Structure 1
Amino acid sequence: MAGRQTGWSQAALLQFLLGMCLTVMPPIQARSLRFVTLLYRHGDRSPVKTYPKDPYQEEKWPQGFGQLTKEGMLQHWELGQALRQRYHGFLNTSYHRQEVYVRSTDFDRTLMSAEANLAGLFPPNEVQHFNPNISWQPIPVHTVPITEDRLLKFPLGPCPRYEQLQNETRQTPEYQNRSIQNAQFLNMVANETGLTNVTLETIWNVYDTLFCEQTHGLLLPPWASPQTVQRLSQLKDFSFLFLFGIHEQVQKARLQGGVLLAQILRNLTLMATTSQFPKLLVYSAHDTTLVALQMALNVYNGKQAPYASCHIFELYQEDNGNFSVEMYFRNDSKKAPWPLILPGCPHRCPLQDFLRLTEPVIPKDWQKECQLANDTADTEDLRCRQAFRFHSRPGTKKQNNKTPMKT
């Protein structure tokens, strides 16, 4: 993500290359779908952790905390079936490795969600059956270690500038007012749960635990009334806004969701200028991943992304040879995906306009932008002083002038 600063901005360069390509590409006969990118949240899971006074501890859950449940497996199998129907005629009816690439975060629940999804999307045909009694085939899901994931696991870090923005967010009137209004409520939750540190930023854990338990038919404690759970839900949604918005949303996006968006834009541009595979690129991740991306796009609805919800990017080639992007959000299995509109563009947004409108949230050099301003100044000052001392010492040999590698 780090790179040299040049006279060209990334988005401008992509637009230039795209424009050059379109001048020589002959028009096609009809509008056609060329490429699809999906980002979905894992399916239903057990709580990621619980609170000290919770009568339901980890042994209550068959596979322990944070694991995909049978309900979650079914949710993603059904999503895979829906995607199979949506892209009938675009994707082969059987799995072809050149057509699809899947990447997941390195969590059991996201890896297993991707596998369940692929089982619904690509059931084996007769030739692909390796056992007549098993209507399933293995399809690769790629990942990287959690500590190395700089694409799908949010919030991204370490990033001092982002932490500085979060500290500034805590001083905003909106955050301060929320803290005052909910101080007594947070104290009540702390007393009832046995937790020692319940804040606007940690309260989502309590809601998540109660939500999972209620979803799976467990009786909630008396203090967790419907009104209390509803208030916890509202504060949970506020915690997502805190992560990626409220204060300096564009700056936060450059350090968070804009990183993933930049990769998606590179892929869209590549597919518009070449005929390379895959046709379908899939990211299996988390609610925070979806929120980070949608906040960068400024299309977030303010609500936690439900299990197995799916953000869709579709790249089309128009009948005049130009390319456009359409976005959809499937957040209800009983309804068709909801069209998402990038501010400043129609739903069928020309690719060049899509690149131009999203340029403000695309980082040029993520590592450099993550530095604090005084750290950058101190680093440059130190380099200058070191260079002065080197050139002032008599009898030293001249070094080569290669630019030091950025890390």
Structure 2
Amino acid sequence: MSKPIFILFTLALLLGIISGDTIVSVVSTFRHGARSPIDKSSWDLGVWPQGYGELTPEGYRQHYLNGKEMAYRYIEQAQLISPKFSVSEIYIRSTDLNRTVMSVQSQLYGMFSNGPQLAQTAFNQKAVPPLLNVQNQQQAITALGEHALPNGYQPVPVHVVSASYDNMLVGSSIAACPRMAEILQAQQQTDIYKQKVAAYTQGLQKQISQVFGITVSYEVAGYMADTLTTDKFHKFDWPPGVTDEMYYQMYGNQNYTNSYFYTPEASSLAGSQFFQAILDQFDGTISGTSTRKFGFYSAHDTTLIAFLNFLGVFDGNNPIYASTLIFELHNNNNAYAVHISYNGASILLDGCVDPCPYATFKEMMQEKIIANVTEACQLQNDEAELSYNYNPYLDINALS
């Protein structure tokens, strides 16, 4: 074979491989967008009209823009899902909090900005409620035209589970998984934890006491950094005396305090149901027994930390607002593989290539998945008295 012919053959082969590769199923999980601080602090200089722990307009926009990117990738380019929202193609689940529900709603609005229209013009006057004397009804009908809702809005069904029973998306919380308290206690007995607390007591704790007028634990100092981060993001001033250096020390506390309890066991307890859901969706796609093509899971930073730890790729840095972890199932001439990305960067699993052959990926996940998480989450010694330093990141009421 001559060199030019060989080159053409190689190019044709490569083009065939590329054209044969299609995305056939996707699971996306993400942290909610920007929000107000979880709790009120006397020193917080921010102004929060909607109250505490609520998604801000900036958070709406973050997820709306995420949705526009998802639309470009999976509707326009990959043609994975329909341009019009279909309940048979998409499943949406969120933790039972306003900010996570509103985040995924904002994201889906970005994906499906052109909502449904009435089936017939005749329904303009027929599709009305059985209320009498609705104010400005005819004016509203005229403004809608053929649209079901203003501005092409597409309602989406969001499924939630009460936090105390949500082992999928808040599986690190002690309320959902009491076993986490025993793991936390054990981790607080390690040398590295004790060394960090001792160093904090001798240094940063004293600075915080001088600036804020309060003496707080190692964990709470990290939690205070979350409020400072929220203020910083929304362009509010910090209290006098808080320097960048001090903030980054507190932020370092947060990076550690919201992740040190994720031992391999804890990561499996918090991640098993989610990764089983991925396998179930992908298996359904491969076998042709399911029409679901996209799963959205709206959660928290600690949720993503659990999942990244489950994969063995957590880098120690707290996920920022709207951080997104995506699993794509690719079909390349009936050879299935999984591509994973986090905030746009590809993730390479230890012991696999990218994309990871699905059989290998599935085997790797199944090695860590706990079949009965509810049972495994029970206390191993319910007669022992637990004693540990309070950690807000294991408290459902302080989910960040």
Normalising by structure 1, we get a TM-score of: 0.76
Q: Which shows bigger deviation, 65-74 or 367-376?
A: 367-376
Deviations 1:263-297 (A, max 9, x none): 22232223222241211110011111111111111
Tell me by how many angstroms 1:204 deviates.
2.5
Unaligned 5+ runs, structure 2 = 1-18, 119-145, 384-400
Indicate which of 100, 111, 115 corresponds to 2:90.
Answer: 100
Task: Confirm whether residue 324 of structure 1 aligns to residue 337 of structure 2.
Answer: yes
Indicate which of 159, 177, 185 corresponds to 1:142.
Answer: 159
- Determine the structure 2 residue equivalent to 1:278: 292
- Determine the structure 2 residue equivalent to 1:216: 234
Q: Which amino acid aligns with 1:192?
A: V
Three-state SS of the structure 1 residue aligned to 2:327 is strand
User: After the TM superposition, which residues 331-370 of structure 1 pair with which residues of structure 2 at under 5 Å, given as runs?
Assistant: 337-370=344-377
Confirm or deny: 8 A CA contact 1:204 1:232 kept in the other structure: yes
Task: Confirm whether residue 289 of structure 1 aligns to residue 303 of structure 2.
Answer: yes
Three-state SS of the structure 2 residue aligned to 1:74 is helix
Task: Confirm whether residue 227 of structure 1 aligns to residue 227 of structure 2.
Answer: no
User: After the TM superposition, which residues 363-402 of structure 1 pair with which residues of structure 2 at under 5 Å, given as runs?
Assistant: 363-373=370-380
Tell me by how many angstroms 1:149 deviates.
1.8
Indicate which of 181, 189, 192 corresponds to 2:211.
Answer: 192
Tell me by how many angstroms 1:206 deviates.
0.7
- Determine the structure 2 residue equivalent to 1:49: 39
Indicate which of 200, 205, 210 corresponds to 2:223.
Answer: 205
1:161, 1:191 → 2: CA distance? 37
Q: Which amino acid aligns with 1:74?
A: R
Deviations 1:207-264 (A, max 9, x none): 11111112222221222111001111111111122131xxxx2222222223322222
Three-state SS of the structure 1 residue aligned to 2:309 is helix
Confirm or deny: 8 A CA contact 2:115 2:153 kept in the other structure: no
CA separation of 1:134 and 1:279: change in aligned 2, threshold 3 A: same
Tell me by how many angstroms 1:162 deviates.
2.7
CA separation of 1:202 and 1:234: change in aligned 2, threshold 3 A: same
- Determine the structure 1 residue equivalent to 2:63: 76
Three-state SS of the structure 1 residue aligned to 2:24 is strand
Confirm or deny: 8 A CA contact 2:340 2:348 kept in the other structure: yes
Task: Confirm whether residue 168 of structure 1 aligns to residue 186 of structure 2.
Answer: yes
User: After the TM superposition, which residues 90-129 of structure 1 pair with which residues of structure 2 at under 5 Å, given as runs?
Assistant: 90-124=80-114, 127=117
Tell me by how many angstroms 1:127 deviates.
3.5
Tell me by how many angstroms 1:373 deviates.
4.7
Indicate which of 148, 151, 160 corresponds to 2:168.
Answer: 151
Q: Which amino acid aligns with 2:223?
A: N
CA separation of 1:275 and 1:34: change in aligned 2, threshold 3 A: farther
Tell me by how many angstroms 1:132 deviates.
7.8
Q: Which amino acid aligns with 1:44?
A: A
User: After the TM superposition, which residues 18-29 of structure 1 pair with which residues of structure 2 at under 5 Å, given as runs?
Assistant: none
Q: Which amino acid aligns with 1:72?
A: G
1:228, 1:218 → 2: CA distance? 17
2:247, 2:64 → 1: CA distance? 29
CA separation of 1:206 and 1:137: change in aligned 2, threshold 3 A: same
Tell me by how many angstroms 1:117 deviates.
0.5
Confirm or deny: 8 A CA contact 2:34 2:321 kept in the other structure: yes
- Determine the structure 2 residue equivalent to 1:383: none
CA separation of 1:118 and 1:221: change in aligned 2, threshold 3 A: same
Deviations 1:319-338 (A, max 9, x none): 1x2321110112xxxxxx11
2:282, 2:150 → 1: CA distance? 40
Tell me by how many angstroms 1:316 deviates.
1.6
User: After the TM superposition, which residues 307-322 of structure 1 pair with which residues of structure 2 at under 5 Å, given as runs?
Assistant: 307-319=321-333, 321-322=334-335
Unaligned 5+ runs, structure 1 = 1-28, 331-336, 377-407
Tell me by how many angstroms 1:194 deviates.
4.6
Q: Which amino acid aligns with 2:81?
A: L
Q: Which amino acid aligns with 1:177?
A: Q
Aligned pairs, how many? 333
- Determine the structure 2 residue equivalent to 1:25: none
2:96, 2:31 → 1: CA distance? 13
Deviations 1:341-378 (A, max 9, x none): 111100111111112222332113323333455569xx
Three-state SS of the structure 1 residue aligned to 2:164 is helix
2:179, 2:20 → 1: CA distance? 47
Tell me by how many angstroms 1:140 deviates.
1.7
Three-state SS of the structure 1 residue aligned to 2:159 is coil
Tell me by how many angstroms 1:155 deviates.
1.4
